[in-house]
Structure 1
């Protein structure tokens, strides 16, 4: 740890790898060259940055629409978020060049009762069918957010792969 730094959250470190075992993911993992790895991680972090911005834009739209109504909606609007993340570059010593790169993400805390849910898959236009009523409501809401994002960006972009912990 550096001067005046202290851990605030539990994190995970992610690195891309070349899938040498198409049937089963298992070690040893073949790594990309540092330049390629850094580029892959940069694109992943950038996608997360834009997804957070799109979700924030969506909530601003919803909040503005709800604020101007005389009667509140007859349902609760879910307040969801993306994990906090960033890039981490490690040096073998302070005067050297980068020797490894990671995507750092906040850890999603789960217990044995928690479920990690795929709400909308980017390979299918239909939201995932879920048995849990709350998960179904969140899935419907996320499909709605896609429509807002599509319209507000002039049909250029929307978040296509929603997944996470059921709160």
Structure 2
């Protein structure tokens, strides 16, 4: 396990598609991915049990609902970010003067939904023969692009999920990117008349500001 959050566990994995796609997840054989799966916590039954974490997986039907909901949120987050860059590019192209600063180039992690199939043995009464059902969906996973770090990068929370202001101070590394992300929120909120904007920006930052991946929670 890579880690555990409030609602999902994260595990290392790899993805091979047939045929291999030209870009994004599955663009190479055994593509490194992060495999995420939702869970819920079981309330402790005693004070001793409260010190340990017990998690339970959802049924395949409910698990599919949770994973699809998360994938749809990521789809819209990507769409809103693409719209923001289209908005920026339009105004740059119509400006009579060149831009006096660089625009950060960021993206959300690529993601997809994977269904795990297998054989499930249906239990029967004692003494009776058990039945095996082939082709049963046993688990549903959210696959995400694996964020790779180098010596000049660190995982950062740029904007909290309960605020629209940067989580960083002005003298902290990455503050300029956090300011840009608040700008994207402003554009999204104004252009869709207050219906939606993306919160909880977390990811890596590089001084070159090129192809910086984020994930959305």
TM-score range, shorter chain: 0.7 to 0.9
CA contact (8 A) 1:17 1:29 kept: yes
Per residue, is there more helix in 1 or in 2?
A: 1
Give the Cα separation in 2 of the matches to 1:25 and 1:73. 55
1:37 counterpart = 2:63: yes
1:15 counterpart = 2:15: no
Match of 1:63, SS state, is helix
Give the Cα separation in 2 of the matches to 1:25 and 1:116. 27
The runs of 4+ residues in structure 1 deviating greater than 6 Å are 21-25
Structure 2 equivalent of residue 104 of structure 1: 143
Match of 2:175, SS state, is helix
- Paired residues for 1:117-136 under 5 Å: 117-130=156-169, 131-133=171-173, 135-136=174-175
**How far apart are residue 97 of structure 1 and its match?**
2.3
Looking at both structures, which has the greater relative contact order when contacts are Cα pairs under 8 Å and sequence separation is at least 6? 1
1:149 to 171, 188, 194: 188
Q: How many residues align?
A: 165
Structure-2 change in CA distance of 1:97 and 1:74 (3 Å): same
> Structure 1-normalised TM-score?
0.87
CA contact (8 A) 1:127 1:140 kept: yes
Unaligned runs of 5+ in 2: 1-15, 21-27, 45-49, 120-133, 207-217
CA contact (8 A) 1:90 1:99 kept: yes
Q: Which has the larger radius of gyration?
A: 2
Unaligned runs of 5+ in 1: none
CA contact (8 A) 2:166 2:175 kept: no
